[in-house]
């Protein structure tokens, strides 16, 4: 597939659709979690109100350059991850720039935003910044390991690193989905998914029950708005990767919306049910349960 300039506005259209859907869906997930705790929850349009308010604010507080580049790095990771995988399989309009990337590039984008935020937090000058960095990077590194093993397993299974080709191999019925043809790889990937979504019991990098610090209080005005945009976009972009690799992808927008919502709801359900891990508990959980499953998936293939 050769590059065509018309794909740029189509990709921007895809980005706009997914961002709007992400803002509504994350608000709906938050409301479902609140109802599970017998609370009312936020309004379904509250994310948009917060975003517009923060983008309209300006600040004269000065930190280092990396502190202000961190939200840009974070948002770049989410946008890049979404644009280099197909959103709607078989659609020329919504294939994005998937012909230019593969699974290896997607793995880089997943870690790119996290690394940028770590560099920004390190320059904030906050005495607890090192705690948040060590917690976040330790968990993300361990959570990515079973996902990398799962990706290796399905790359061997399908003999390709192209996301589009992997989706193509799963067409022809739901029994062709990777979740049925290689359940061990999908199990390892979904265990990793819980850690990368940063929800309870794996929300230890912010530790909301312990200390009221972290990016939501360190950043402000339009910088916080950039983080809010990515906080909604990045999880959905990761869900799109999982949908394409393990659940047959999507051939139209209604199927896309439904699959993304159900996969996202899985992490929200686990977060409502289980309390938060400590750092050593989180790392031990991935080492004892998720990594062996990923190794078994490779051996099975």
pLDDT in tens, 269-287: 998 888 888 888 888 999 9
In this prediction, residue 196 carries a pLDDT of 85
Q: Tell me if 283 is assigned to some domain.
A: yes
Q: Tell me if 1 is assigned to some domain.
A: no
Q: Tell me if 60 is assigned to some domain.
A: yes
pLDDT in tens, 186-231: 999 999 999 888 788 888 766 655 554 555 566 777 888 888 888 8
Contact (CB, 8 A) for 85 and 240: yes
Please give the residue that has the higher pLDDT: either 244 or 107.
Answer: 244
pLDDT band at 4 (very low <50, low <70, confident <90, very high): low
Neighbours of 185 (CB within 10 A): 31
In this prediction, residue 77 carries a pLDDT of 86
Q: Tell me if 251 is assigned to some domain.
A: yes
In this prediction, residue 261 carries a pLDDT of 95
In this prediction, residue 231 carries a pLDDT of 84
Q: How many domains does the chain have?
A: 1
Q: Tell me if 104 is assigned to some domain.
A: yes
In this prediction, residue 205 carries a pLDDT of 67
Q: Residues with Cβ < 8 Å from 70, sequence gap 6 or more?
A: 116, 117, 119, 120, 121
- The highest-confidence range among 73-77, 132-136, 172-176, 217-221, by mean pLDDT, is 172-176
Percentage of the chain surpassing pLDDT 90? 37
Rounded to two decimals, the pTM is 0.90
pLDDT in tens, 6-30: 677 888 899 999 999 999 999 999 8
Q: Tell me if 52 is assigned to some domain.
A: yes
Mean pLDDT across the chain: 85
**CB contact burial 107-116 (16+ within 10 A = b; e otherwise):** bebbebbbbb
Q: Is the pLDDT reported for residue 176 higher than 90? A: yes
Instruction: Give the span between the Cα atoms of 266 and 189, in whole angstroms.
Output: 13
Instruction: Give the span between the Cα atoms of 140 and 118, in whole angstroms.
Output: 11
Contact (CB, 8 A) for 135 and 205: yes
Sign of the dihedral defined by the CA atoms of residues 37, 40, 44, 50, in that order: negative
Q: Is the pLDDT reported for residue 54 higher than 90? A: no
In this prediction, residue 188 carries a pLDDT of 94
Instruction: Give the span between the Cα atoms of 166 and 172, in whole angstroms.
Output: 13
Torsions phi, psi for 143 (to 5 deg): -70, -30
Residue owning tokens 């990077």: 137
Q: How much is the average pLDDT of 44-53?
A: 90
Q: Which domain holds residue 294?
A: 7-300
Helices (H), ranges, 37-158: 46-55, 65-83, 103-122, 129-158
Q: Tell me if 206 is assigned to some domain.
A: yes
Least confident of 94-103, 108-117, 126-135, 194-203: 126-135
Residue owning tokens 């379904």: 44
Q: What is the DSSP letter of 2?
A: -
In this prediction, residue 182 carries a pLDDT of 93
Q: Tell me if 69 is assigned to some domain.
A: yes
228 three-class SS? helix
Please give the residue that has the higher pLDDT: either 117 or 169.
Answer: 169
């Amino acid at each position: 597939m050769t590059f065509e300039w018309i794909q740029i506005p189509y990709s921007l259209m895809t980005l706009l659709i997914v961002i709007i859907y992400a803002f509504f869906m994350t608000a709906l997930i938050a409301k479902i979690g609140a109802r599970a705790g017998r609370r009312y929850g936020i309004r379904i349009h509250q994310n948009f109100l917060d975003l517009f308010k923060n983008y309209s604010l300006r600040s004269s507080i000065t930190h280092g350059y990396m502190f202000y580049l961190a939200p840009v790095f974070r948002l770049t990771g989410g946008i890049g991850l979404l644009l280099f995988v197909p959103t709607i399989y078989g659609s020329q309009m919504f294939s994005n720039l998937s012909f230019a990337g593969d699974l290896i590039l997607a793995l880089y984008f997943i870690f790119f935003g996290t690394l940028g935020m770590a560099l920004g937090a390190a320059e904030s000058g906050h005495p607890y910044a090192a705690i948040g960095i060590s917690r976040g990077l330790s968990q993300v590194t361990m959570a990515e390991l079973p996902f990398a093993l799962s990706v290796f397993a399905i790359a061997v299974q399908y003999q390709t690193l192209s996301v589009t080709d992997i989706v193509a191999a799963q067409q022809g019925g739901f029994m062709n989905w990777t979740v049925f043809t290689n359940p061990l790889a999908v199990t390892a990937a979904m265990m990793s998914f819980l850690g990368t979504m940063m929800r309870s019991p794996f929300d230890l990098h912010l530790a909301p029950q312990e200390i009221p610090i972290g990016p939501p209080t360190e950043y402000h005005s339009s910088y916080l708005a950039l983080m809010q945009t990515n906080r909604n976009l990045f999880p959905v972009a990761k869900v799109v990767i999982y949908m394409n690799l393990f659940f047959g992808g999507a051939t139209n927008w209604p199927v896309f919306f439904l699959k993304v919502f159900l996969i996202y709801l899985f992490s929200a359900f686990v977060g409502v049910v289980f309390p938060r891990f400590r750092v050593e508990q989180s790392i031990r959980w991935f080492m004892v349960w998720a990594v062996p499953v990923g190794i078994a998936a490779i051996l099975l293939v």
